Amino acid sequence: MPSHLFTPIALGDLELPNRIVVSPMCQYSAEDGRMTDWHLMHLGQFAVSGFGLVVVEATGVEPEGRISPGCVGLWSDETEAAMARIVDFFRARGSARLGIQLGHAGRKASANVPWMGGGALAPGDGAWQAIAPSAIPFGPGWPAPEAMNGQALARVRAGFVQAAERAARLGFDVVELHAAHGYLLHSFLSPLSNARDDAYGGSLENRMRFPLEIFDAVRAVWPAGKPLGMRISATDWVEGGWDLEGSIALAAALKARGCDFIDVSSGGLSPAQKIDAVHGYQTRFAAEIRRATGLATIAVGRISDPVQAETILATGQADMVALARGALHDPRWPWHAAERLGDTASYPPQYLRARI
């Protein structure tokens, strides 16, 4: 019997050859938002290794929306041209479909790269002013962000639209909007970071308003039939924060607007979070959202073993699985998974001799 893992799946008009996704993974290796040779190597290895979908790392829709000075952007002709190399490689050599995660770092912007400590940049080190729904710092040692006014809301909304238009022009297959891990759209959702008293704060409906406006604006320009989804943090892992109940409500609202999938992660909004990050610790959130809404889900979070991944799909916890650390550790993961499950994966002709 064929495995669930290597069964194709349709998202909109797009068919993925299997259900193995490479999660967007920040590489902090861009130059003024432009992708470099590092990205061609990093993403190119996954293009030819049998994955169904590879998603480009969190991509800033404006320069101030980057997490760090080393983060990728898609806000100019220069950043678009640099990204075209990667898309061209996928089209010419790869078997995987290609997606991009569009986002804005919000109050977690203007940070150092992880191997330099990852904290907030000092003013003398190129720091810039971060923005957020409210002027609440991310944590100790972080400066207060500037609360967004109507002009800032409109600017960011336009930034997402323009980045989506560039992604369409480049030929990406999928767009994922980043509303997880404490970044801007997530910070609107959570009452821990959103203390607004206008139409964008307070009630659950109001806190969902800006992320849903972004979705609607992107859906209006992203080609019909091409999948559009959202990554969320299902819970803040902090009492009184964003939770699974809110996530189900958001997923239902997204589905009604034409969302094709939801990528279910968790955490990242508060240093006070308490997470027991065991293998598969987030899959139950994907399962609950899928059961409650019927929206296609991607399960993420320390999924590393092929049998574990197959079980997640076979038991209806999710429709797809996404790997991050597992893909870094083993870029040929689909080949080895196919061997383990008695199924077949895609090989480029140059590597056919490696197939057992």
Q: What percent of the chain has pLDDT over 90?
A: 96
The reported pLDDT for the residue numbered 279 is 79
Q: Residue 111: which domain range?
A: 9-354
CB 206 within 8 A of CB 213: no
Task: Tell whether the torsion through CA atoms of 341, 343, 347 and 352 is positive or negative.
Answer: positive
On whether residue 258 sits in a domain, the answer given is yes
The reported pLDDT for the residue numbered 92 is 95
Task: Tell whether the torsion through CA atoms of 236, 241, 245 and 247 is positive or negative.
Answer: negative
Residue 237 three-state SS:
coil
Catalytic residue of the set 28, 183, 200, 347: 183
On whether residue 95 sits in a domain, the answer given is yes
The reported pLDDT for the residue numbered 309 is 97
Q: Confidence class of residue 129 from pLDDT cuts 50, 70 and 90?
A: very high
On whether residue 2 sits in a domain, the answer given is no
The reported pLDDT for the residue numbered 355 is 85
The 10 Å CB-count burial string (b at 16+, else e) for 226-252 is bbbbbbbbbbbbbeebbbbebbbebbb
C-alpha–C-alpha distance, residues 57 and 70, integer Å: 12
On whether residue 334 sits in a domain, the answer given is yes
- Average pLDDT on 194-220 reads 98
Q: Confidence class of residue 222 from pLDDT cuts 50, 70 and 90?
A: very high
Strands 297-299 and 261-265 come out as parallel
Any idea what the CATH number is for the domain that residue 337 is in? 3.20.20.70
- Output the average pLDDT for the chain: 97
Written as one letter, the residue type at 205 is E
On whether residue 4 sits in a domain, the answer given is no
The reported pLDDT for the residue numbered 185 is 99
On whether residue 1 sits in a domain, the answer given is no
Residue in the block written with tokens 């196919």 = 338
Integer CA distances (angstroms), 346 to 16, 180, 282, in order: 12, 31, 28
Q: Confidence class of residue 241 from pLDDT cuts 50, 70 and 90?
A: very high
What pLDDT digit, counting tens, does each position of 263-279 carry? 999 999 999 999 987 87
- Average pLDDT on 221-229 reads 97
The reported pLDDT for the residue numbered 82 is 98
- Average pLDDT on 9-22 reads 98
Q: Count the domains in the chain.
A: 1
Q: What percent of the chain has pLDDT over 70?
A: 100
The reported pLDDT for the residue numbered 216 is 98
On whether residue 3 sits in a domain, the answer given is no
Residue 150 confidence (pLDDT) above 80: yes
Q: Confidence class of residue 329 from pLDDT cuts 50, 70 and 90?
A: very high
Residue 307 confidence (pLDDT) above 90: yes
The reported pLDDT for the residue numbered 278 is 81
Residue 356 confidence (pLDDT) above 80: no
Q: Is 281 a catalytic residue?
A: no
